[in-house]
Amino acid sequence: MRWAAALITLAFAVALTTATADAQRRGGDPKLAARKNPVAANAASIKSGQALYAKNCRHCHGLRGRGDGPLAPKDPKPADLTDAKWDHGSSDGEIFAVIHDGVSADMEGYAQRMSDAEIWNVVNYLRTFAHR
């Protein structure tokens, strides 16, 4: 009987994980795209975002955001944050959702590691990649 309860719990966890990962679909989400960034993209925000990126993101996405970090998996390779192709949407709100909630087992959410304001700072920093 215990195995049945464990199996039901496991099935529920898998279903919940699948629903969460599916929340940010490829191609973007108009509802998330409409979400406005409440943090001004000023020098202080960008500097804070850069430090947070260095601590949390560069290991996979690389120093310059090209998906070539030292701990980057080979398949699938982390997103190149410097190109024009954003698989899950390119608006601030969509990028926030990807960082906050994650999109897969390889890109898990950072909501437990960073506050919303810190995630918005990272979004502001990522915007500087387009200017390089």
Tokens representing 6 are 């464990």
- Three-state secondary structure of the chain: CHHHHHHHHHHHHHHHHHHHHHCCCCCCCHHHHCCCCCCCCCHHHHHHHHHHHHHHCHHHHCCCCCCCCCCCCCCCCCCCCCCCCCCCCCCHHHHHHHHHHECCCCCECCCCCCCHHHHHHHHHHHHHHHHC
The pLDDT tens digits of the residues spanning 114-130 come to 999 999 999 999 999 97
Among 36, 17, 12, residue whose Cα is nearest residue 94: 36
What is the C-alpha separation between 105 and 20, in angstroms, rounded?
Answer: 11
Q: Compute CA distances 3 → 8, 10, 11, 68, 101, whole Å.
A: 9, 10, 12, 42, 31
Q: 51: which residues sit within 8 A by CB, 6+ positions away?
A: none
Segment among 1-15, 27-41, 53-67, 68-82 with least mean pLDDT:
1-15
Tokens representing 95 are 């990028």
Q: Which pTM value belongs to this model?
A: 0.78
The pLDDT tens digits of the residues spanning 58-106 come to 999 999 999 999 999 988 899 999 988 888 899 999 999 999 999 888 8
Complete domains list, the chain, with CATH: 2-131 (1.10.760.10)
